[in-house]
Amino acid sequence: MVELEPPLCQQRIAPVIALYDEAHLNDSRNFPQDGAKSQLNKAFWREKTLAQMSEQEWESLCDGCGKCCLYKLEDEDTGEILYTGVACKLLDIERCRCTHYRQRCDLVPECLDLRRGFDQFRWLPATCAYRLLAQGEDLRAWHPLISGRAESVHEAGVSVRSFAIPESQVKDLTDHVIEWLD
pLDDT tens-digit series, residues 9-23: 333 222 222 222 222
pLDDT in tens, 107-139: 988 788 887 766 677 778 899 999 999 999 999
Mean pLDDT of the chain: 78
pLDDT in tens, 43-67: 999 999 999 999 899 999 999 999 9
Beta bridge partners of 74: 2, 81
- Percentage with pLDDT > 90 across the chain: 54
pTM (two decimals) = 0.75
Rounded to the nearest 5 percent, the helix, strand and coil shares of the chain are: 25, 15, 60
Pairing of strands 97-98, 177-178: unpaired
Beta strand 165-166 with 91-92 is unpaired
Confidence tier at 35 by pLDDT (50, 70, 90): very low
Asked if residues 123 and 18 have their Cβ atoms less than 8 Å apart, the reply is no
Quote the pLDDT of residue 149. Answer: 94
Dihedral angle over CA of 58, 60, 63, 69, nearest 10: 60
Q: Name residue 160's amino acid.
A: V
- Using alpha carbons, list the distances in angstroms from residue 90 to 9, 98, 104, 168: 8, 5, 8, 11
Q: Cα dihedral sign for 99, 103, 104, 106?
A: negative
